[in-house]
Amino acid sequence: MTDPGRRLYRDAALLVDGGRKLRPGMSLLVEGGRVAWIRPVDEEPAADGARIVDASGCTVVPGMVDAHSHLTLPGGAHWIERGRDPPERLVAVAEHNAELQRQAGVRWARDVGSVRAVDPVDGKERALALGVRDRWKGRTDRPYVRSAGTWITRAGTLPEGLGIAAADPAAFLAAAAAQLDEGADFLKLYLDGPTPGVSPWAAEEIRPVVELARGRGAKVTAHTSYLDGARAGVEAGVDALEHGFELDAELAARMQSQGTFLVSTLAVFRSWATFARTTSLARFAGEEGRDRMAKRRARAVESVAAAHRAGVRIATGTDFGGGSLRPNQLAWEVESLVEAGLAPWEALASATRVGGELLGEPEAGTVREGGPADFFLVHGDPLSDPTALWRVWRVAWADGPA
């Protein structure tokens, strides 16, 4: 009789040597949601009662970490407008997004901003992703979630109703404290402002927010599309930059020395390029818009390359919901990192192990004996062909009966 809690994945390829190489002919026994052992096929211990999964031709990939996501938003060409959808709709969208993430091999979701409203499920007024996070705890069919609450912005930056807008440094600090009081796991600062290319806050105005968060055991990350905001955030001591579309060698070197992460979202530019033929929106379909996007993409790719050369730890995400991508497209971002000069194994590490380091979760993005069975199987070799990550076959943490 087979034991549904025991499953032997036989004859797969395993990432070894820090994810740099593949070792074929390996088997993994999963018991009670954890990896009991990993052995070569010809050295398998007895696994009586285990259900056998023929994993030949597949690679075992650690569950991925989407380090820049927006769980309650759907994405698409009208992603900004969707933030004004009713809370009931946004919470329902999160459930659909979670299904897509699971099917794509995403185990961890780092939510970096959701709309603040009355949650239709629990009646609490706070960032909607916080309620989603709490309701998903302990569910194997949902990702583990870390949530920043809502965006903290300078007044006049985002459309009304998105984020918390502060008019001065005192209000900026008070907004940060309020987010932590409401249960945010970390703070998300928006360091693009009303004037393009100019940071809305100086480093000395950001630093008290960082000190507040550190004093309460939380981290701070910063949205930065432009160099000025990135400089202000790094000088103030934020833990990570989101996007980082404009970095230079000097700033990248400082990020490396301080241990500041970069969370890349390069695939948004690939997404926007596809809209030239699929929408009539001028910003995507018009000649001027296409030219502007192409220049921004080239600058962003060079920024990630500069960070990579400097040794900055690069995690990565889709920006789904808060951007145009969808929650099952993290593979697209891995491909984008390869375009920026990362080796395929490094790009995959950004979407797995380095994302775990950003979260402070040593088990995230790894597969080891005794660890959680948070892995999935892809058809092919993602180290020689990153597009293999699109070919997800099975997801071990929510595997079916077959």
What domains are there in the chain, each with its CATH number? 6-62+366-398 (2.30.40.10), 64-359 (3.20.20.140)
15-30 burial string, b = 16+ CB within 10 Å, else e? beeebeebeeebbbbb
Residue 273 — φ and ψ, nearest 5°? -60, -35
How confident is the model at residue 3, as a pLDDT? 65
Residue 223 — φ and ψ, nearest 5°? -70, 125
Strand partners, 240: 221, 261
Q: Write the secondary structure of the chain as one string of H (helix), E (strand) and C (coil).
A: CCCCCEEEEEEEEEEECCCCEEEEEEEEEEECCEEEEEEEHHHCCCCCCCEEEECCCEEEEECEEEEEECCCCCCCCCHHHHCCCCHHHHHHHHHHHHHHHHHCCEEEEEECCCCEEECCCCCCEEEHHHHHHHHHCCCCCCCEEEECCCCEEECCCCCCCCCEEECCHHHHHHHHHHHHHCCCCEEEEECCCCCCCCCCCCHHHHHHHHHHHHHCCCEEEEEECCHHHHHHHHHHCCCEEEECCCCCHHHHHHHHHHCCEEEECCHHHHHHHHHHHHCCCHHHHCHHHHHHHHHHHHHHHHHHHHHHHHCCCEEECCCECCECCCCCCHHHHHHHHHHCCCCHHHHHHHCCHHHHHHHCCCCCCCCCCCCECCEEEEECCCCCCHHHHHCEEEEHHHCCCC
What are 388's two structure tokens?
């293999």
| 99-130 confidence digits (pLDDT tens) | 999 999 999 999 999 999 999 999 999 999 99
What's the alpha-carbon Rg for the chain, to the nearest Å?
21
How confident is the model at residue 1, as a pLDDT? 47
Q: Name the residue with tokens 């969808």.
A: 326
Task: List, for the chain, all residue ranges whose pLDDT scores fall below the cut of 70.
Answer: 1-4, 400-402
| CA dihedral of 51, 57, 60, 65, whole degrees rounded to 10 | -120
What are 401's two structure tokens?
């009966």
How confident is the model at residue 13, as a pLDDT? 98
CA angle 195, 197, 201 (to 5 degrees): 70
Polymer length of the chain? 402
How confident is the model at residue 316, as a pLDDT? 98
How confident is the model at residue 167, as a pLDDT? 96
Distance of CA 102 to the CA centre of its chain: 13
| 45-91 confidence digits (pLDDT tens) | 999 999 999 999 999 999 999 999 999 999 999 999 999 999 999 99
Q: Name the residue with tokens 């009355």.
A: 118
How confident is the model at residue 85, as a pLDDT? 95
How confident is the model at residue 160, as a pLDDT? 84
335 with 48: CB under 8 angstroms?
no
Model pTM score = 0.96
**What distance separates the 2 farthest-apart alpha carbons in the chain?**
67
How confident is the model at residue 4, as a pLDDT? 65
